[in-house]
Structure 1
Amino acid sequence: MRTTAFDFIVLGAGAAGCAAARALAAKCPDAAIALVEQGSRRHAVPMMQVPALQPFIATSGKCQPFLRHLVGQPEENLGGRALVHTRGSGLGGSTLCNDMRYLRGTAADYAAWGDDAWSWDRMLPYFTALEANTRGALRPVHGADGPLPVSDADRSSIDASLNSHIQRGTRVGVFDALIEEEQHRTPNLVVLTDTRAEQIVFEGRSAVGVLVSDGTGRRLSTRLDCGRVVLCLGALESPALLQRSGVGKAGTVLDLPAVGQNLIQGCTADIVFRALTGMEGATSRSLSARNLPYLWQQWREYQEERTGVFATLAEAGAFVRSRPTAAVPDLSSSSTARRSWAGTGGGGPCAPWTALENEKDSNAQLRRKLEESAKREAVSEELERTLRRDLEVAGGTPAAASPTRWPSTIRSGAAERADQGPAAAHRRRGGYTRVTELNKQVEELEGRAAAANAALREEKEKFSQQLLVAHNALRSSRPATSST
């Protein structure tokens, strides 16, 4: 078994692991630090960078190499169902697949932990130090000089704001922002990918190393010795590693029954509204198969400008009280672009809706595009027929072997039977000259028509491909209710 020594080992290259490794490398420049990640170093597929496609990541086949699906035990409170927890696997951890909202909770959440070292007042300076918030340095709430981009969502559907990890219409790469872009400042930091932590090695109650495998868990190949271990594997895998290492209920290293207990898993209830009146002038923003013409238009805008409904997901959020007597907020509410309306119907901005009252207008856009394409083809055919008639009037006939090509010299059949006198020769020369000029014009016009037809075919193929991508993305999603 190979052995490698470090001063610090940070397990997990998610948001917490990247922040911890960056801070250690900056504050301890003489220390050797390892950031260990089970996932690969490969870049995530482009679909995972598009904010509006986040709900389809968990079920997309192309995204599976960057995901882990952890299945829990059947729970009585869930009617015997077992929850499936989807986590990211790669540099960035679950920030590769989360909903990109930047929510730090309320002060009451931190106070409930009962630890002054983790209070809201103690944690807030660390939050602001990491932020590069587009709202500016609103001290002491937000910061603007940190490495992590934080911005307000693009207001494509509703008139509200919510901080999110989206920059110029794409998902923020947390690993890139915290580690990759400043690697020249942290030469003492080593990133180990495709490396799974199997067990923490203890001497007494002190952690002295980590046994790691090749990422698949098939074989233990290396022991990483260290002075300290920083555990950042998330709410599920951190306690699992501790239990495998002898820390937990009836543990061989330390008996801590609370390890692996008290998991808080947020539940989501989707609420759908239908607008019956007051929707004049509104535009459907629904990600549904019936709205493909609008989605194609938005997808083209996103590819060109990184704006529109595909450039955002959650656009507004709020912490609310479930009942008036509650002392602190115990519910959170979010509005997304997946099922919403926007417009000025009813005298003001519309709330999120899922009605599709103007579906005919969206389909009419597609029909108009197809009709315009048919008209262009008809004009091209009419132009060819007109040119053929002009040539026939001038005394020429198109070549029968190739109806789309014209001979370089076209002789008049009448001229062949005419006498050989001077007048006939003059007429022939004039006719041949006219035909030659028409041939040149035909070739020039044919070149323009061919270029126009090629551009039209390219536009049709691109349109078909965009529709197919949107259709496949919608079909690959699991059936789910709409969210407000």
Structure 2
Amino acid sequence: MTPVSEPVLDGDYDYVIVGAGTAGCVLANRLTEDPSVRVLLLEAGGSDRYHWVQIPVGYLYCIGNPRTDWLMKTEPEAGLNGRALVYPRGKVLGGCTSVNGMIYMRGQAADYDRWRQMGNIGWGWDDVRPYFLKSEDHHGGDGPHHRAGGEWKVSRQRLSWDILKAVQEGAREFGIEPRPDFNDGDNEGSGFFEVNQDKGVRWNTAKGFLRPALKRPNLRVLTGAHTDELVIDGNRVSGVRFRRRGGHFLARATSEVLLAAGAINSPKILELSGIGNADILRECGIAVRHEKPDIGANLQDHLQIRTVYRVENAKTLNTPANSLVGKMGMALEYALFRRGPLSMAPSQFGMFTKSDPALETPDLEYHVQPLSTDRLGDPLHSFPAITVSVCNLRPESTGTCHVSGPDRDRPPAIRPNYLSTEADRRVAVLAVRQARRIMTAKALAQYRPDEILPGPSVENDDDLIQAIGDIATTIFHPVGTCRMGVDARAVVAPDLRFNGLDGLRIVDASIMPKIVSGNTASPVVMIAEKAADMIRRNH
């Protein structure tokens, strides 16, 4: 490595946070509430002050955009018939909260109780619920399950579609009842998603947590700072080596280094530092500094199956989005009122239900959208249609995320291993069949839904699995690659301290031992809130 010169970083810091994404912005805010603590926050990406970050529908122009996305891909996946998927990761302050679907979702109480039952004391629903509430600023104000006044804004969506209301009525015919709140610990039912927005504008953790903290003199933030490796002195992580604007720098942490680079980049940084599975490190030409076999293992993600239905007598986004007049009308409505299609999250309407009535809690999540394409990133269809996406909330399939060599700028090899278990393939088939049943509801008859994907001719289980492999895609929820636990192989302990090295904690989605039953952004905010409390008590 290029020799490191001491930077002018005005001395050592108590904490060096690697990653100003979903968790890092929360940590920076909470830790600098103590004026005696000095914090350095390193972010490899740039500013989030970009119009397509702020406009909710701009996620379409942020994903695949080198300004806002790290442009990662999975390796070819056997379960997806050899396809490799694009794997967006936020490349700006706020991380994935700057490019995601903005859905506010906590998951199910049973998710966190399961973490506790695995030995992670302090992570049950009753333990984590106060941390969801701590940062929440809910549109409904204070109540039994929500609070107002926090940093994390939760709003109603500012548009509606009759066709989605009809899907809700149709689902009711099959026992999926409307639910007023997905976030009280039991999300079974149907409803319109609440979103992290403020008056029709995206709300990310950079706005909610980092901007207020930037006013404090004890926080320094460096963007464009690429972490090369953690500094290990004996049995302690004492700092970070990073590159910025052509220079090489060393930042020292007198208390702890807090790794918050996410489920993909946190294991990458550990492995490049010589911390990980010894066989993989040696194969990649990296000297082993500390062996921890499960780093980069246990990758879990939600795979969504996009079923598409052409409809009649219905307004969907396809029609106005395919005409100049329609686009101008949408732009004007947003410019004047911050309403309309440009204010919409990718999914407006959702359902949580069971693939098998014998299950205790829902294992399927639907994201229903008033638009359609052949595949994500393609132009919208020229005819009115809706997409009824459904995913298995608790997949058994687990994958890996590992470096493939010592090159620090090379993306890691991401292998989610989708649909690799018989149980996951069975649930996928049941999910498509359930979606088809819902679309035959009387409430939808006036719209004459006609299945385009996977297509009505695809009927037997084997053909359905083949078709699912062709159309399924990630919903961008990778977790678990530095899992929390009490066994010897766990990467971090329940206090998120690294098992085997002092001075290091990991605070991001990678610590989840099992994926939550819903969208993952707000659970990561909760993890960071809880971690900040533990860190401050220690300090």
For 1:154, the equivalent position in structure 2 comes to 158
Measure, in 2, the Cα distance between the counterparts of 1:198 and 1:132: 37
In the TM superposition, what are the counterparts of 1:470-481 in structure 2 within 5 Å? none
- Give 1:50 deviation, angstroms: 2.2
- Corresponding residue of 1:73: 75
Structure 1 residue 341: deviation in Å? 7.7
In structure 1, how many angstroms separate the alpha carbons of the residues matched to 2:447 and 2:22? Answer: 31
Aligned to 1:190: 220
Partner residue, 2:360: 327
* Cα separation, 1, equivalents of 2:449 and 2:318: 7
Structure 2 unmatched ranges of 5 or more = 166-190, 282-287, 373-383, 387-440, 451-469, 474-539
Equivalent residue number for residue 106 of structure 2: 104
Contact 1:207-1:227 at 8 Å conserved across structures: no
Are the aligned partners of 1:335 and 1:352 in contact in 2 as well (CA < 8 Å)?
Answer: no
Q: Distance in 1 between matches of 2:444 and 2:159?
A: 12
Query: Residues of 1 paired with 2:57 and 2:371: CA distance?
Result: 7
Shift of 1:225: 3.9
**How far 1:222 sits from its partner (Å)?**
3.2
Structure 1 residue 190: Cα displacement: 1.1
Amino acid at match of 2:218: N
Partner of 2:17: 10
Moved more, 81-90 or 187-196: 81-90
Aligned to 1:435: none
Q: What is the deviation of 1:350?
A: 9.3
Mapping of residues 251-290 of structure 1, within 5 Å = 252-275=288-311, 279=313, 282-286=314-318, 290=322
The Cα shift of 1:481 comes to: 10
> Is 2:319 the counterpart of 1:309?
no
Distance 2:301 2:217 in 1: 38
User: Whose helix proportion is higher, 1 or 2?
Assistant: 1
**Contact 1:10/1:232 (<8 A) preserved:** yes
Residue equivalent to 1:25:
32
Paired with 1:176 and 1:145, the residues of 2 have a C-alpha distance of 14
- CA–CA separation in structure 2 for the residues paired with 1:117 and 1:293: 55
Secondary structure of 2:268's aligned partner: helix
Is the contact made by 2:29 and 2:212 (CA closer than 8 Å) also made in structure 1?
Answer: no
Q: CA deviation at 1:353?
A: 8.5
Query: By how many angstroms is 1:335 displaced?
Result: 2.1
Query: How far apart, CA to CA, are the structure 1 residues paired with 2:307 and 2:257?
Result: 44
Q: Distance in 2 between matches of 1:351 and 1:254?
A: 63
Corresponding residue to 1:338 among 360, 366, 371:
371
1:48, distance to aligned residue in structure 2 (A)? 2.9
Local SS of the residue matching 1:117: coil
Paired position in structure 2 for 1:168: 199
Task: Kindly indicate whether the alpha-carbon contact (under 8 Å) linking 2:303 and 2:472 is maintained by their aligned counterparts in 1.
Answer: no
Shift of the 306–323 alpha-carbon distance from structure 1 to 2, 3 Å rule, reads same
Q: CA deviation at 1:99?
A: 0.9
What do residues 274-312 of structure 1 show as CA deviations (whole Å, max 9, x unaligned)? 345xx3xx4343266545543432221111111112211
Write the letter of the residue equivalent to 1:31: V
Secondary structure of the 1:322 match is coil
Secondary structure of 2:137's aligned partner? strand
Identity of aligned residues (%): 28
Residue matched to 2:180 = none
Q: How does 1:34-433 map to 2 (within 5 A)?
A: 34-41=40-47, 43-44=49-50, 46-59=51-64, 63-113=65-115, 114=118, 115-139=120-144, 141-157=145-161, 158-159=164-165, 160-184=191-215, 186-214=216-244, 220-250=248-278, 252-275=288-311, 279=313, 282-286=314-318, 290-313=322-345, 314-339=347-372
TM-score normalised to structure 2 length: 0.58
**Match of 2:160, SS?**
coil
Query: Match for 2:220: what amino acid?
Result: V
Structure 2 CA distance for aligned equivalents of residues 136 and 353 of structure 1:
40
Matching residue's letter, 1:19: V
SS of equivalent to 1:36: strand
1:37-80: per-residue Cα shift (whole Å, max 9, x none)?
Answer: 11123622x12322234234324xxx422220123333333333
Decide whether the 8 Å contact of 1:286 with 1:354 is kept in 2. no
Deviation at 1:124, TM superposition (A): 1.2
Going from structure 1 to structure 2, the CA distance change for 1:338 and 1:226 (only over 3 Å counts) comes to farther
Counterpart residue type for residue 14 of structure 2: D
> Which SS does the other structure have where 1:54 is aligned?
helix
Kept in 2: contact 1:131–1:145 (CA 8 A)? yes
What is the aligned residue count? 344
Q: What SS does the aligned partner of 2:264 have?
A: helix
So what's the TM-score if we normalise by structure 1? 0.64
Residues 312-334 of structure 1 show CA distances to partners (whole Å, capped at 9, x for unaligned) of 12212232222222232222111
| Matched position secondary structure for 2:35 | coil
AA of the residue aligned to 2:20: A
SS at match of 1:200: strand
Is the 1:54–1:98 contact (alpha carbons within 8 Å) kept by the matching residues of 2?
yes
Bigger RCO of structures 1 and 2 (CA < 8 A, at least 6 apart): 2
Contact 2:199 2:338 in 1 (8 A): yes
Shift of 1:480: 8.7
CA contact (8 A) 2:113 2:124 kept: yes
The 1:174/1:120 distance shift into structure 2, 3 A limit, reads same
**Cα distance change on mapping 1:286 and 1:269 into 2, 3 Å:** same
What is the letter of the counterpart of residue 325 of structure 1? A
1:50 and 1:99 mapped to 2: Cα distance? 12
Letter in 2 for 1:7: D
Computing the radius of gyration from Cα coordinates, the structure with the larger value is 1
Q: Is the contact made by 1:202 and 1:209 (CA closer than 8 Å) also made in structure 2?
A: yes
1:120 deviates by: 2.1
| TM-superposed deviation, 1:122 | 1.4
Counterpart AA for 1:10? I
The one-letter amino acid of 1:294's match is G
Cα distance, 1:220–1:77 mapped onto 2, change above 3 Å: farther
Partner Cα separation in structure 1 for residue 224 and residue 159 of structure 2? 39
Structure 1 residues without counterparts, runs of 5 or longer: 356-478
